Amino acid sequence: MFKAKLLENEAFELLSKYSIPYPPYGLAKTPEEAGEIAEKIGFPVVLKIVSPDISHKTDVGGVILGVKSREEAVEGFKTIIKNIERKVPGARVTGILVQKMVKPGVEVIIGGKRDLTFGVIVMLGLGGVFTEVFKDVTFRIAPLTREDVYEMLNELKSAPLLRGYRGLPPVDIEALVDVVLKFSKLLEENPEIESADLNPVFAYSNGVLVVDARFILRGEELKI
């Protein structure tokens, strides 16, 4: 069966349709446009290659963090393109995603997949680089209620991090629950999506931001 993934800008467009919050971004096609978008968004920003042929962007020099000026954005665009031409010759390049670099929060992963027997299964857990190490995740079958998500949060070993730990403020639990419910609805209403994950999701004391999103499709591509 034909499979594809949404490009980064397409993934954020889909999130916007469900009012799932994410940092401001723009898709640049030229170095000058990267500088313009970065200046408009406000510094610092992150630059990321957008290509249907590249999954592990960092490994091929496709990501630059902490860009602090228009000039750096322009040069960063050029640097990424040169890296891709050298390390992944022939890769299709849609552009460079210019995204606001946000302060870190408590990292959460929200994921899901479509099961032939159970339908949509939603996952919630500790996010970021520790996802694979600690495997602190829990699952529910959609559709979800607020009570379901509260229960999922309470099942996590990392729950104390969300409630406030060693002087750290508690995260905005209600905002996090809202995102999980909206994500569940997104998967239910778009059967073209085979699997998806939002990782990392930064949970703050006053809100939540989805920093990165991946959607794997089956069959025909999702129309957004």
User: Under CATH, which number does the domain 106-218 receive?
Assistant: 3.30.470.20
Q: Could you report the per-residue pLDDT of 213-222, keeping only the tens digit for each?
A: 999 998 654 4
Q: What is the pLDDT of residue 130?
A: 59
Q: How far apart are CA 93 and CA 8, in angstroms?
A: 12
Q: What is the pLDDT of residue 166?
A: 77
Q: What is the pLDDT of residue 218?
A: 84
Q: Helix 173-189 to helix 8-17 angle, to the nearest 10 degrees?
A: 100
Q: What is the pLDDT of residue 1?
A: 41
Which SS3 state, helix, strand or coil, does residue 222 take? coil
Kindly list the distances between the CA atom of residue 92 and the CA atoms of 51, 55, 95, in Å, as whole numbers in the listed order: 6, 12, 9
User: Residue 110: left (phi > 0), alpha (psi -120 to 50), or beta?
Assistant: beta
pLDDT band at 161 (very low <50, low <70, confident <90, very high): confident
- Report CA 184 to chain centroid distance, whole Å: 15
Q: How far apart are CA 115 and CA 131, in angstroms?
A: 22
Cβ atoms within 10 Å, residue 108: 28
Amino acid of residue 131 = T
With a pLDDT cut of 90, the percent of the chain lying above it is: 83
Q: Could you report the per-residue pLDDT of 93-151, keeping only the tens digit for each?
A: 999 999 999 999 999 999 999 999 999 999 999 876 656 666 889 999 999 999 999 99
Average pLDDT over residues 38-63: 96
Query: Under CATH, what is the fold of the domain 24-100?
Result: Dna Ligase; domain 1 (3.30.1490)
pLDDT band at 160 (very low <50, low <70, confident <90, very high): confident
Domain boundaries in the chain? 24-100, 106-218
pLDDT band at 186 (very low <50, low <70, confident <90, very high): very high
Cβ atoms within 10 Å, residue 176: 22
Cβ 195 vs Cβ 217: under 8 Å:
no
Averaged confidence pLDDT in the chain: 93
CB contact burial 138-174 (16+ within 10 A = b; e otherwise): eebebebeeebbeebbeebebeebbeeeeeeeebbee
Provide the token pair at 187: 């998967």
Average pLDDT over residues 44-49: 98
Cβ 122 vs Cβ 151: under 8 Å:
no
